Amino acid sequence: MGAQAAGPLVVGVDSSTQSTKALGVDAETGAVIARGQAPHPVSGGEAKETDPRQWWRALGEALARCGDAVRQVSAVSVAGQQHGLVVLDTAGTPVRPAMLWNDVRPAPQSERLIAELGGPQAWAERIGSVPRPAFTVAKWAWLRANEPAAADATAAVRLPHDYLTERLTGEAVTDRGDASGTGWWASATESYDTEVLAHVGLGPAALPPVARPGEAAGTVHADELPLPKGALVAAGTGDNMAAALGLGLRPGQPVLSLGTSGTVYAVSTLRPADPTGTVAGFADARGDWLPLACTLNCTLAVDRVAALLGRDREAVEAGGAVVMLPFLDGERTPNLPRASGLVHGLRHDTTAGQVLQAAYDGAVFALLEALERVLDEGAPADAPLLLIGGGARGTAWRETVRRLSGRPVVVPGAQELVALGAAAQAAGLLLGEDPAAVARRWGTARGEEYEPVERDGAAWERLAATLTDGAALLRR
């Protein structure tokens, strides 16, 4: 528990891959009054799945751990992991576990969808993104091909945050930010694409209406949560869109997030359409755009390499010429869903610490290589890079980003930015304000500032050459 609220209290929820966090926040000051967290399981192996009812259970536990403060909240918003496929029957019960964003089994369906509907350029122009295996449309195509009985039993398709919002309010609704990661919401028209839906055998009636920015999803009606009946519920959004709100981002501010996945993104006033598929042309939660590149292998991959080497994650050593591409779970950026890790340049004098540093370099390289595609043309090359996520607290991560980017780095003091962004969305709805402006008033982006260092061009060139030369091996 924190201090007493000076203004009305709002709750922001972050339903992520492995846990649910809830923050009770003073809508006026941004002070965190209460917080709670609860885990939920993810299946192992190739399938990455969770029963959506576990998210609901975890939401209840996280709210309960916030204490009595949440019984006084005026507005709530739920942010959730993007791309997940939640399939419900006519009673609203999950037909099967939800397929999560990092489930890459739909790689063949992704390739077929791209080819069958005009190729990458056509997808980018209409949808705003080329549908990689993570996208919901590829997961639905996989389900129809591999579990037709489950597809036939499906009456409603939801994203993770949609599922929780609907259980809170009793109303089906999504938002433009999270909908833009499905592959069936067209950024060109800001509506569901009926041709894509017909091609994958999904009726528009199975999908929730898309709320406009600033529009409420409804009010709390669920009995089993410690929230007051009638509290406003915002439309919610995807986790990356919520983090952008939580930082109060203005167009052109680059962000690098180091979590289970790694992402780079920036708010833009221009609708993105990258035919290479490197950049996903997402909408943000406000009415602008959020071009974003995402890697599957980030902190978990580097931690696994550290464990294999028997070293602490911070026990890196400079020097040597070893290169590692730590694509332990396949990769999304670059698009190598079947890849495994690759190590090149080992010598007798290579140390374990140098190998660990190479793992950091490989993970950061994949993100920074995509950064220039994310930023609008003419964006300043020396703009500070906002470094967020769990990895941002690690010295080795921060110094690797500084060395390979050559940019100044700011590590915001605010943590749990996805939940804070959801809280800002709830506060914006309650107060009738722009949620990003609310977050800026809260000062969430302020933090430790680190001056730029000279960019390590030699390491960058080694990584680029290894990726090019090893491309055939990585595609196996």
Q: Which residues are catalytic?
A: 239
Q: How far is CA 69 from the centre of its chain?
A: 28
DSSP 94: B
If we measure between CA atoms, which residue out of 16, 77, 173, 25 comes closest to residue 425? 77
Long-range residue pairs from 41-47, CB within 8 A, at least 24 positions apart, any chain: 42/17, 42/18, 42/100, 43/97, 46/103, 46/104, 46/105, 47/99, 47/103, 47/105
User: Sign of dihedral through CA atoms 202, 204, 209, 213?
Assistant: positive
The string of DSSP codes covering 209-249 is: -EEPTT-EEEE---SSSSS-TT-EEE--EEHHHHHHHHHTP
Q: How far is the C-alpha of 412 from the C-alpha of 448, rounded, in Å?
A: 6
Contacts (Cβ under 8 Å, ≥6 apart) of 138: 106, 107, 109, 110, 113, 131, 132, 183
What φ, ψ does residue 123 adopt, rounded to 5°? -60, -45
Residue whose structure tokens are 């800002």:
424
133: amino acid identity, one letter: P
Q: How far is the C-alpha of 261 from the C-alpha of 294, rounded, in Å?
A: 7
Contacts (Cβ under 8 Å, ≥6 apart) of 407: 254, 381, 382, 383, 384, 385, 452
Q: How far is the C-alpha of 125 from the C-alpha of 280, rounded, in Å?
A: 12
Report yes or no: 54 and 160 within 8 Å, Cβ to Cβ. no
Q: Give the side-chain half-sphere CA count within 13 A for 270.
A: 13
